[in-house]
Amino acid sequence: MTQKTILNESHRALGAKMVDFGGWDMPIHYGSQIDEHHMVRKDAGMFDVSHMTVVDLRGGRVREFLRRLVANSVDKLSKPGKALYTCMLNPRGGVIDDLIVYFMDETFFRLVVNAATREKDLAWIREQALPFEVEVTERDDFGMIAVQGPTAREKVVSLLREEDRERIGKLGRFAARTASLPNGTEVFIARTGYTGEDGFEIVVPRGATVPLWDALLEAGVGPAGLGARDTLRLEAGLNLYGQDMDEDVSPYEAALGWTVALDEGRGFIGRDVIEQQKAAGAPRQMIGLVMDERGVLRHGQKVLTEHGEGEILSGTFSPTLGKAIALARVPAGELALGQSGVARVDIRGREVPVRVVRFPFVREGQVQPGVLE
């Protein structure tokens, strides 16, 4: 049965084209995916991310549990409200999911995990939590709205209670705080996102989600759908779980080695395999591709390199660049490290040249060096 977020009727009232997304009825666009993309790059747009899962962890050994559960080190989190991006691995070093961990206090951490992996994530987390006597609570009483773009922060801050505005306006990246709306509703605001732009992700009580959405519309924040979210995150070089990584892909093979902390004495799940890959090198690497010819790069197309064959993971037309871009996984070697600049993609039997570039392709509205010729 298809699930609906609390904002479903709001999307339909705005004329959204709705699609099935991992079992959820979600907006793909509200008229023009390209316009929504540019709106986020130049001004501010908002996304309904209420389908994502907030999970609260409580207990005296919750930090000890997270040291075991995730590949990054939660010991980096010492101040309440600080956040950490990390991967949760299986014993083979494959990625069960990528997620954000928020430190609330020594007995309370909060996770935000992907919608498509909700059931398996919760089952895995609960199984691993048992020996640590950690209480795992799925917070389905929340909605979530992401507001992204260069004017996102000022527009969100303008809607808060006056005494919270300065504090939230100065909130650092990958940090979160509670704040209140003028009517007293408490919200959890994180300076995080999935677009390569600045902004906030706002966790709000379910019953207050529609009023907040409407207030954002009144403040000049336009709605954006899954289509723009995908082109924005790909330009930003951000992985999509299930397409760019999964349980058979290690963080090193997904260009997420920076999220692995091999701190001494911490036996996180999958560490043995990860240490071996760190020492010997991962067999595959992720690279960025730009196609200067007309056309679109698509998931599953074959990539040909001097070191062997790989495939495109995520591919799209980049509205910011005006060209096709992609993330691809290829055999490890000189090309994968960005030292060589040319590969080929098999498009319906024709080998089309593409340039290998470092990603992200776009960061905070700016095309990165080397992406355009």
- 106-148 pLDDT per residue, tens: 999 999 999 989 999 999 999 999 999 999 999 999 999 999 9
What distance in Å separates the CA atoms of residue 159 and residue 180, rounded to the nearest whole number? 9
Report strand pairing: 302-305 vs 108-113.
Answer: unpaired
- 13-25 pLDDT per residue, tens: 999 999 999 899 9
CATH of 8-50+141-233, one of 1.10.760.10, 3.30.1360.120, 3.40.50.620, 3.10.450.50: 3.30.1360.120
**Two tokens, residue 342:** 């040319």
Q: Which residue has the higher pLDDT, 373 or 133?
A: 133
**Two tokens, residue 4:** 């609906």
- 229-255 pLDDT per residue, tens: 999 999 999 999 999 999 999 999 999
- In the predicted structure, residue 336 carries a pLDDT above the cut 60: no
How many other C-beta atoms lie within 10 A of the C-beta of residue 101? Answer: 23
Residues near 138 by beta carbon (within 8 Å), at least 6 away in sequence: 53, 54, 55, 122
pLDDT at 335: 56
Going from the C-alpha of 338 to that of each of 9, 14, 146, 371, the distances in angstroms are 46, 44, 33, 12
pLDDT band at 373, cuts 50/70/90? confident
287 three-class SS:
strand
Helices 62-69 & 118-129 angle (0-180, nearest 10): 120
What distance in Å separates the CA atoms of residue 235 and residue 226, rounded to the nearest whole number? 14
> Average pLDDT over the chain, rounded to whole?
96
Where are the domain boundaries for CATH 2.40.30.110 in the chain? 283-373
> Are 216 and 149 within 8 A, CB to CB?
no
Kindly report the backbone phi and psi dihedral angles of residue 317, in degrees, each rounded to the nearest multiple of 5, phi listed first.
-85, 125
- 61-115 pLDDT per residue, tens: 999 999 999 999 999 999 999 999 999 999 999 999 999 999 999 999 999 999 9
- 347-357 pLDDT per residue, tens: 999 999 999 99
Q: What is the mean pLDDT of residues 175-189?
A: 98
pLDDT at 146: 98
Using alpha carbons, select from 215, 214, 280, 218 the residue that is nearest to residue 250: 280
Residues near 285 by beta carbon (within 8 Å), at least 6 away in sequence: 252, 253, 255, 329, 330, 331, 332, 333, 336, 337
Where are the domain boundaries for CATH 3.30.1360.120 in the chain? 8-50+141-233
Using alpha carbons, select from 272, 237, 271 the residue that is nearest to residue 254: 237
Residue 45 burial by CB count (10 A; 0-12/13-18/19+): exposed, middle or buried? Answer: buried
- In the predicted structure, residue 359 carries a pLDDT above the cut 80: yes
Look up the pTM and report it: 0.96
Q: What region, left, alpha or beta, does residue 246 occupy, with left being phi > 0 and alpha being psi -120 to 50 degrees?
A: beta
pLDDT band at 337, cuts 50/70/90? very low
SS3 content of the chain, % helix, strand, coil (to 5): 25, 35, 40
Query: Which residue in the block uniquely carries the two structure tokens 């907040």?
Result: 212
What distance in Å separates the CA atoms of residue 354 and residue 360, rounded to the nearest whole number? 16
pLDDT at 186: 98
Kind plus residue range of the DSSP H or E element containing 127: helix 118-129
CATH of domain 283-373: 2.40.30.110
